[in-house]
């Protein structure tokens, strides 16, 4: 097997960042829906952690796309689509990854359209999507995955 063209240290850093964001989001989720909906600080923290977690995924995706020469994406969505097309991410989670990119774009550009209930639904139903992304990267690029 030839040496991977990716910068494993860069990917390792992004993976740790994603995992840390997910741990913090799990803590926020653990406070419960009512506490979350009543606390604007928790809501803002969750949006920030979701946004930066997705940003770290996109940084990793763009790095892989460039180093593996998978194409020249013009958008973040295209970066994810290139990884999906190259079968570096599981196809059955493609819609979820694209939705993560959409949420990131809304958090950056349309932040005033995001409702607290929507944020909490993501905390309840989609934090595992980060782990699917991380697992796919670890399985592809690390024989001894970082913990």
pLDDT in tens, 94-128: 999 999 999 999 999 988 889 999 999 999 999 99
Q: Which two tokens stand for residue 11?
A: 């990917």
- pLDDT of 138 higher than 80: yes
Residue 101 counted as domain residue: yes
- pLDDT of 38 higher than 70: yes
Spatial separation of the C-alpha atoms in residues 125 and 115, rounded to whole Å: 16
Residue 95 counted as domain residue: yes
Residue 71 counted as domain residue: yes
> Full-prediction pTM beyond 0.85?
yes
Mean pLDDT, residues 58-81: 96
Residue 53 counted as domain residue: yes
How would DSSP label each residue in 77-142?
A: HHHHHHHHHTTSS-GGGHHHHHHHHHHHHHHHH-GGG--HHHHHHHHHHSHHHHHHHHHHHHHHH-
Q: How many domains does the chain have?
A: 1
CATH number, domain containing residue 116 = 1.20.120.580
pLDDT of res. 73? 94
Residue with tokens 């607290």: 116
- pLDDT of 1 higher than 50: no
Residue 146 counted as domain residue: no
pLDDT of res. 89? 96
Q: Which two tokens stand for residue 72?
A: 């020249």
Structural domain harbouring 38 = 8-141
């Amino acid at each position: 097997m030839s040496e991977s063209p990716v910068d494993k240290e860069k990917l390792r850093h992004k993976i740790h960042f994603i995992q840390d964001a997910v741990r913090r989001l799990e803590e926020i989720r653990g406070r419960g829906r009512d506490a979350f909906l009543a606390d604007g600080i928790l809501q803002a923290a969750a949006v920030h952690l979701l946004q930066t977690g997705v940003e770290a995924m996109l940084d990793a995706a763009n790095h892989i796309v460039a180093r593996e020469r998978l194409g020249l994406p013009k958008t973040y969505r295209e970066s994810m689509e290139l990884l999906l097309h190259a079968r570096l991410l599981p196809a059955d989670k493609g819609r979820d990854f694209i939705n993560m990119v959409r949420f990131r774009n809304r958090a950056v550009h349309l932040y005033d359209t995001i409702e607290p209930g929507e944020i909490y639904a993501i905390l309840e139903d989609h934090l595992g999507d980060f782990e699917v992304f991380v697992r796919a990267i670890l399985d592809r690029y690390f024989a001894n995955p970082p913990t």
